[in-house]
Structure 1
Amino acid sequence: MENAVNHRHVKVNGLRLHIAEQGQGPLVVLLHGWPESWYSWRHQFAPLAAAGYRVVALDQRGYGRSDQPEDVSAYTLLHLAGDVIGLIRELGEEQAILVGHDWGAPVAWVTTMLRPDVVRAVAGLSVPPILPTGMVPLSVSRALYGEGFYQIYFQKPGVADAELAKDIPASLRRVLVGASGDNPRNSRPQPWIIPDGKTLLDTVPEPPSLPTWLTEADIQAYSDDFARHGARAFTGALNWYRNIDRNAELLAAFQGRGIDVPALYVVGDRDMVTSLGGPGRRRTDPRKVAPHLRTPVILPGCGHWTQQERPAEVNTALLGFLAQLDRAPTG
């Protein structure tokens, strides 16, 4: 039924991956971030499908209803990009448009860098094109922010895993509200630092209420999918962070490569990501990495959960970007 979001599993690179799909037409693959799932794109399915696109969102490896490999090294960006390319082929398509949010954005950027023959166009939400590795190396983050930086904190085996899995709904509620534009602390975005002697969840207290864009039913939908992996509910997701330095090694040969297809970047002005780089440091102009980048879309008052906090604005930006692709040749 074209008007419904349909769910199934596909076999890709030896893994069983869960996908949600709707619509017919050119393929648009939606790549979620941490700590989310296909469900983070719930507001994008109907508008994109109605505009004439085949929309597919997956639970990426380690997440939700998809398989969770035990080996920490099975979560590199090469594995993740391979999953995307394998999925496109499994769906019977030659090309796709990629849209990624948070960690899904580096997956989209790196996949595009590696396979511009398969990726027709790319959009990143929250995380700009940082190539060739997609993420800042841990040595740089450690020098800038110290041992309390959340990506460093996530390196400790089992620590954040157990903390987050103890009460999955509460953990998700705290993290989602804590990094949103509705948290007054994010009126001036700053890096996520866990002070010495504190835990991750100490920095994101239980919110007194949920913002309008997030309901208890949404929290439950996420929780049900994470809970499928039991005590390892968050381990697969955290293993992505545990490969940041490995990614730098594996992708070093691609230094200097860029994004050679039409690209879009969307970010909230209250997103923590906008604060990264350190005092007095300037980000590289993203157009040096992606010369075909459209004018970035900045969403006032929006925090980290771009497509959930501002679905109407994100959908407008995506549909406008896709319409431009249909009117003009790529390249």
Structure 2
Amino acid sequence: MEEFRHEFVEGPDANRLHVATLGEGPLVLMVHGWPDAWISWRPQMRAVAAAGYRAAALDVRGYGGSDAPHEISAYTMERLTRDNEAIIRALGTDGKAVLVGHDWGAPIVYATAYMRPHVVRAVIGLSSPPAPAPAKKPSEAYAELYPDKLFYQAYFTREEGVAEAEFEADLERFIRVMHFNLSGDTTLADPVEALVRPAGSTTLLDGLPEPDPFPAWLTREEIAEYADHFRSHGLRGPLNRYRAQDIDFDEMQVYKDRKIEQPAFFVGGTREPSRHMQGFDRYADPVRRYADCRGVYLIEGAGHWLQREATDELNARIVDFLKELDS
């Protein structure tokens, strides 16, 4: 990884944010989700840098080389969008950036676009579509949606420390099982089974299949590398993003009717496990909050990890969009 430069930016709470960069030119900032790290973007960083841009990928607060505050309130959408703004101001040549977000990174990117539009040129969303504002607090919605089964977000938020203990007991198993079963290569009959466990379940991972054989995009070396990213801080910070959603519900009311006005497009995999987790197809109309939609692309057979499962197609979509944006 010597090709990547590693920088630290001071965030709005005097928190330290680790950012990897590659190339020179207009800034393209990539924001990962859960359970992930900046390293997931390496293939896209190389492609974007080769196209004449400065590719940057951060460790979101709570992850890897970035600081991990303890309190849940440190992980609200308002705080995370201010982190993005701090990085853009520090690294962008003109104070703006194209934002690319995956999983939780996508909602963070969307919120940055409509909460801090002055620093966002354009938006690319992966896997998680820009949903309308929720009608009720997520904790209330979980209880109604899955009263008997173990829904992963309810498990994360119900009692602090429980999910941390399960995942941190064997970080490599956690990464191996989650990355495999959220992918298009899972052997689960229905991909959503990785996120919604049967009635009576008390853990998330037990009962989920192991990769055998490993898919080409997932190696033992990479699993070890991901696990290392979680050793310093553990899982509390990443899980606090889920726990902060009820705070977001109140703080984000002022933005509930906001659209993403910047040029934007969306990419998802047809086997994305979260696609049907709310009882309907989230991809049926995935871009209701895009005012200037430049395309919706579903990659056949791909699951959640588009950066690695569908590297070539995703890279081509991103580079084509950037060239069109600057033509």
78-87 or 219-228, which deviates more: 219-228
**Contact 2:131 2:288 (C-alpha < 8 Å) held by counterparts:** no
Alpha carbons 2:182, 2:194 under 8 Å: kept: no
Matched, 1:164 2:163: no
Counterpart residue number, 2:268: 267
> What letter matches 1:17 in structure 2?
L
The answer to which structure has the higher strand fraction is 2
Q: Deviations over 1:157-203 (max 9, x none)?
A: 10110110011111100100011100132666557213324311114
TM-score, normalised to structure 1, is 0.91
Partner of 1:110: 111
Aligned pair partner of 1:209 in 182, 193, 213? 213
User: Secondary structure at 1:260's aligned position in 2?
Assistant: strand
Structure 1 stretches lacking a partner, 5+ long: none
CA separation of 1:219 and 1:283: change in aligned 2, threshold 3 A: closer
Partner of 1:309: 309
* Structure 1 residues 225 and 21, CA gap change in structure 2 (3 angstroms): same
Query: Which amino acid letter does the alignment assign opposite residue 201 of structure 1?
Result: L
Structure 2 gaps of 5+ residues are: none
SS at match of 2:55: strand
- The answer on whether the counterparts of 1:12 and 1:90 sit within 8 Å (CA) in structure 2 is no
Tell me, in whole angstroms, the C-alpha distance in 1 between the residues paired with 2:144 and 2:168: 29
What is the rounded CA distance, in whole Å, between the counterparts of 1:307 and 1:136 in structure 2? 31
SS in 1 for 2:61: coil
Point out the more displaced range, 173-182 or 138-147: 138-147
Q: Which amino acid aligns with 2:322?
A: L
- Whether the aligned pair in 2 keeps the contact of 1:277 and 1:283 (CA below 8 Å) is no
Among 227, 234, 243, the residue aligned to 2:231: 227
Structure 1 CA distance for aligned equivalents of residues 184 and 284 of structure 2:
25
2:182 — aligned with what?
Answer: 179
- Specify the SS of the correspondent of 2:30: strand
Question: Per the alignment, do residues 85 and 149 of structure 1 end up closer, same or farther by CA in structure 2, a change over 3 Å counting?
Answer: same
**Partner-residue secondary structure (3-state), 1:97:** strand
Relative to structure 2, which stretch is displaced further, 61-70 or 180-189?
180-189
Query: Judging changes above 3 Å, is the alpha-carbon distance between structure 1 residues 118 and 282 closer, same or farther for their aligned structure 2 residues?
Result: closer
| Most deviating of 180-189 and 251-260 | 180-189
Pairwise mapping of residues 1-331 of structure 1 onto structure 2 (< 5 A)? Answer: 4-13=3-12, 14-93=14-93, 94-132=95-133, 137-146=138-147, 148-155=150-157, 156-185=159-188, 189=192, 192-195=195-198, 196-229=200-233, 233-278=234-279, 285-327=285-327
TM-score by length of 2: 0.92
* Cα distance in 1 for residues equivalent to 2:18 and 2:80: 14
Aligned residue identity for 1:179: L
Identical columns (%): 42
Q: Quick one: structure 1 residues 188 and 22, their matched pair in 2 at CA, closer, same or farther if it must change by over 3 Å?
A: closer
Q: In 1, distance between residues paired with 2:71 and 2:167?
A: 20
2 CA distance for matches of 1:120 and 1:92? 11
Which stretch has the larger CA shift, 177-186 or 242-251?
Answer: 177-186
Query: How many residue pairs end up in the alignment?
Result: 322
Distance 2:323 2:221 in 1: 33
Say if 1:191 and 1:276, in contact at 8 Å, map to a contact too: no
- Mapped partners of 1:174, 1:282: distance in 2: 24
| Residues 131 and 287 in structure 2, CA contact (< 8 A), matched pair in contact too | no
Letter in 2 for 1:209: P
